[in-house]
Amino acid sequence: MLPTMTLLISVFLMLYITEKRRFFNAVVLGLIGLTVFVGITTKYELFINEQGFVSKMGIMTLFGIIPSIMLLLSIAMFFNSKILLEKEGRRIRNLLLAIFGLAFLLMMIGYVFVFFTNIENGFWHILFFYAFLIFAYTVFLYTSVMVYAIIYHFTPITYEPRYIIVLGSGLIGDKVPPLLASRLDEAVKQYKKYGERPFIIVSGGRGNDEKVSEALAMETYIIDKYQIPHRKILKEDQSTNTEQNLAYSKAIMNAHAQGRHYRSLFVTNNFHVFRASIYARKAKLDAQGVGSKTALYYIPNAFTREFIGLLEMYKWVHVTVFFVITLFIGLMLRAYV
């Protein structure tokens, strides 16, 4: 295990030092954690004993701890969705964790159905194994991304930016809602941290249900609340998503810098920093991210949406993995039949 661990840590450090804004970094970090877990369970015979059979702890984990954890997670997800519906309104996106909680509950019921009813038909065991592999792959990625996103969020900025980009998140009419206000407050905090030398770029176009562009509302907010000089604010008012926020802001910075080299940072909510950093890399921006505070109850659902967004960014990789798993299960079924 030691050579494998050394190799993985070396690869991770090389990737992290050369470029922090990679999804693959999170995968390698997850593999490190998985290797540590396997090493500990093997060394202390937590699941497998010296004879190569499942140990008592392994049996307890398989038949007791796993379904208990799944049940507790289901309850927590339903509870979080209830809070979101009460505080953020009855929107489908606020039911996301409840949907995942239902999936966890169905997995647990399937687990009990297969292993505690002495089903002899191997088809059901193979089908459950298929569901488990998909579930395990998803949980591995989710955990890896979550841990890496936390590491990235707390990585300090070691340079002084010339520009601070504030990513838009939507308005209520022509008013800045709390989520967007937290980004603007953090941007002003960063602006003052660097001696009020950087320029602030407010980025966001006008949505169908918005009276003005996000950029204009954001500019009005920081001028009225913080008295930021108008000359220190640049507006990008055409974008409709994060990718455009960064790409269009880059064009504005290029024109404003007039050929001089510059570095920038972008501000968004803490749950959104990692995915936005990948978009910044795609836009070839020399920029790292800073996260603003978000209400604790909002983070699980929001981060889950971010995770789904990350899966969509690399969908063909995951489709390939799912295809390989499906092919493997198909071969098992063929052998069984």
Mean pLDDT of the region 287-303: 90
Contacting residues for 213 by C-beta, under 8 A, at least 6 apart: 204, 205, 206, 235, 237
327 found inside a domain: yes
Distances (CA, A) of 128 to 48, 135, 141, 194, 247: 22, 10, 20, 55, 44
- 215 belongs to a structural domain: yes
> With 90 as the cut, is the pLDDT of residue 243 above it?
yes
Domain range enclosing 246: 163-294
**What does the alpha-carbon distance between residue 250 and residue 283 come to, in Å, rounded to a whole number?**
8
Q: What is the mean pLDDT of residues 312-317?
A: 92
Report the share of the chain in percent with pLDDT over 70.
87
Residues 130 and 179 in one domain: no
The pLDDT score that the predictor gives to residue 53 is: 52
Q: 284 and 183: one domain? A: yes
Q: Are residues 130 and 206 in the same domain?
A: no
pLDDT at 35 over 70: yes
pLDDT at 51 exceeding the cut of 60: no
Does 27 lie in the same domain as 129?
A: no
Confidence class for position 172, pLDDT limits 50, 70, 90: confident
Tell me the two tokens of residue 294.
């978000």
Does residue 178 belong to any structural domain of this protein? yes
For the chain, give the mean pLDDT: 86
Q: How many residues does the chain have?
A: 337
| 261 plus 305 within the same structural domain | no
Domain assignment present for 46:
no
Which is more confidently placed, 60 or 232?
232
70 domain residue, yes or no: no
Considering the domain architecture, whether residues 270 and 174 belong to the same structural domain is answered as yes
Residues 249 and 323 in one domain: no
Both 189 and 289 in a single domain? Answer: yes
**Total domain count for the chain?**
3
Would you say residue 47 has pLDDT above 90? no
CATH number for the domain that contains residue 183: 3.40.50.620
In a domain, 28, yes or no: yes
Whether 179 and 289 share a structural domain: yes
- Residue bearing the bigger pLDDT, 175 or 266: 266
Same domain, 167 and 289: yes
Q: What is the mean pLDDT of residues 75-79?
A: 82
Mean pLDDT value across residues 218-231: 94
Domain membership of residue 64 (yes or no) is no
In a domain, residue 59? The reply is no
- Evaluate whether 173 touches 327 at the Cβ level (below 8 Å): no
pLDDT of 279 above 90: yes
Same domain, 28 and 96: no
pLDDT in tens, 87-123: 666 667 777 788 888 887 887 777 777 666 656 667 7
